[in-house]
Structure 1
């Protein structure tokens, strides 16, 4: 009888140890959750003789008038305010994050993908093509030049 009582005590004690763990049931939030704002614009794809400017980063607000901020929420929704060019627009939608890619799905059906750079804690837009009139440093003539821009967002 003592053995049976001892065995029952051991089983109950073992069950108690197994049921107690230090695991936190709260999942780690995605690194993109938080408030982000437009910070700079990265230049690329410039042909010679302008190629020395490739990789240069310019202030998004003072150089381009871009002033966008968005809040990525843990409930998989986001809100965004764009104050570019003197106009204020508000947007909302849902988001997904996989690997390093954040996809924002706006309520109007548009989608925007951003790449998360963990080392710099930045979000990078896809590059987009632009054209501008630039003065050739060799000939001093004004020329239409094609190149790319990329928006860089920083976490607040």
Structure 2
């Protein structure tokens, strides 16, 4: 009877130890997962006499670019939605994404792709789109050529 009691206690001990094993911890989601809103446009590439425009931040919604707004929803399942609003139109573009620090690549279902650069400084996370060539309005009758980069924040 004592042997049976010892075997029972030993079996119970082994089961108890097995039950205390830690669960597998899921890896943290990449830093790019979340909701990103376009925060501003950043100007660059202007030549003299317009070099003062370089690094200027502009509000893309109220500026002369057709009231541009965008929201990126980057999901942990590697899918995303880009809700674009410009000139009275609203479009949802969808696809999948890849992230290799610091580059986020959005692969749209229609075959297009875009690269963004992730940065984090002083608690502020940003995604910077690739620079696009623009003609920047200086007045009602003049403009200058340069580049515009959309900057997103969480």
Alignment TM-score, normalising by the size of structure 2? 0.78
Contact kept? 1:46, 1:147, Cα under 8 Å? yes
CA drift of 1:143 comes to 5.1
Question: Which runs of 5 or more structure 1 residues have no equivalent in the other structure?
Answer: 136-141
Instruction: Give the direction of change, closer, same or farther, for the CA distance of 1:110–1:153 in structure 2 (3 Å limit).
Output: same
C-alpha distance after superposition, 1:27-47 (max 9, x if no partner): 011111011111100011111
Paired residues for 1:62-141 under 5 Å: 62-63=62-63, 64=65, 65-119=67-121, 120-132=124-136, 134=138
Q: 1:144 offset after TM fit, Å?
A: 4.9
1:86-121: CA deviation from partner (whole Å, max 9, x where unpaired): 101111110010011111111111101111012230
Structure with more helix by fraction:
1
**Separation (CA, whole Å) in 1 of partners of 2:138 and 2:74:** 38
Contact 1:39 1:61 in 2 (8 A): no
SS of the residue aligned with 2:61?
Answer: helix
Q: CA RMSD in A?
A: 2.3
Partner-residue secondary structure (3-state), 1:37: strand
In structure 1, what is the equivalent of residue 36 of structure 2? 36
Structure 2 CA distance for partners of 1:133 and 1:83, relative to 1, 3 Å: closer
Detail structure 1 runs of 4+ shifted over 6 Å in the superposition: none
